[in-house]
Amino acid sequence: MDTQRIGIVISSSRPTRIGPKVARWVSTLAPAGADVEIVDLAEIDLPFLAEPEQPATGSYSMPSTTAWSERVRSYDALILTVPEYNAGYPAVLKNAIDTLHAEWKGLPIGVIGYGWGAAAGSVRQLGEVLERVQAVTLAGPGLRFGQDLTPEGEVLEAAPADDVRGLYDQVLAAARERVPA
């Protein structure tokens, strides 16, 4: 069976964020057959929609856009780890999505929310956006502060590791079924 390349996205960029701890934990649960890589949106540091052409044209003039496009295209699937900011998902993630267009079509994307209430509002909003860009969205488990995760990002015993493994299975299956555009 071919190895699938999966990007585990850190969707927050605050200097004191816990996103890297969550993404690292998710990456440790990857099965054989998944080659996982952390995708840190803080490190990628995209400018806010600075291209003259709309992303739907596919006409990219900025090296940062081209590099982000190539990075996304290098994965068979993504898993987004997503917090909740004022009932929504972080602006840095919206910008990363809006910067590209065709790259998302048909891409399997698993979603794992974390926060109070497992970031349910954020995950709901994100689902609408991923549907619009025609990604194949796969709902993963949420991590609740006080139950699965501390607010400082320490993963607790009750964290749904088996559900994350189940998400990997779904994401890998969707990636194998994907017909290249």
Ligand X SMILES: Cc1cc2nc3c(=O)[nH]c(=O)nc-3n(C[C@H](O)[C@H](O)[C@H](O)COP(=O)(O)O)c2cc1C
Query: Looking only at residues 117 through 176 of this chain, which bind ligand X when binding is defined by CB under 6 A?
Result: 117, 119
Nearer to ligand X, 15 or 52 (CB): 15
Among 55, 83, 142, 160, binds ligand X (CB under 6 A): 83
| Contact flag: residue 84 with ligand X (CB under 6 A) | yes
Minimum distance from residue 109 beta carbon to ligand X (Å): 18
Among 68, 75, 85, 168, binds ligand X (CB under 6 A): 85
How many Å apart are CA 177 and CA 155, to the nearest integer? 32
> How many CB atoms within 10 Å of residue 35?
13
Minimum distance from residue 128 beta carbon to ligand X (Å): 17
The percent of the chain in helix, strand and coil, each rounded to the nearest 5, is: 40, 20, 40
Closest listed residue to residue 83, CA positions, set 95, 75, 71, 92:
92
| Contact flag: residue 105 with ligand X (CB under 6 A) | no
How many Å apart are CA 80 and CA 144, to the nearest integer? 16
Nearer to ligand X, 117 or 166 (CB): 117
Among 50, 87, 139, 156, binds ligand X (CB under 6 A): 87
How many Å apart are CA 60 and CA 137, to the nearest integer? 26
Q: Roughly what angle, to the nearest 10 degrees, separates helices 120-132 and 91-98?
A: 10
| Contact flag: residue 115 with ligand X (CB under 6 A) | yes
| Contact flag: residue 14 with ligand X (CB under 6 A) | yes
The residue ranges that bind ligand X (CB under 6 A) are 12, 14, 17-19, 83-87, 115-117, 119
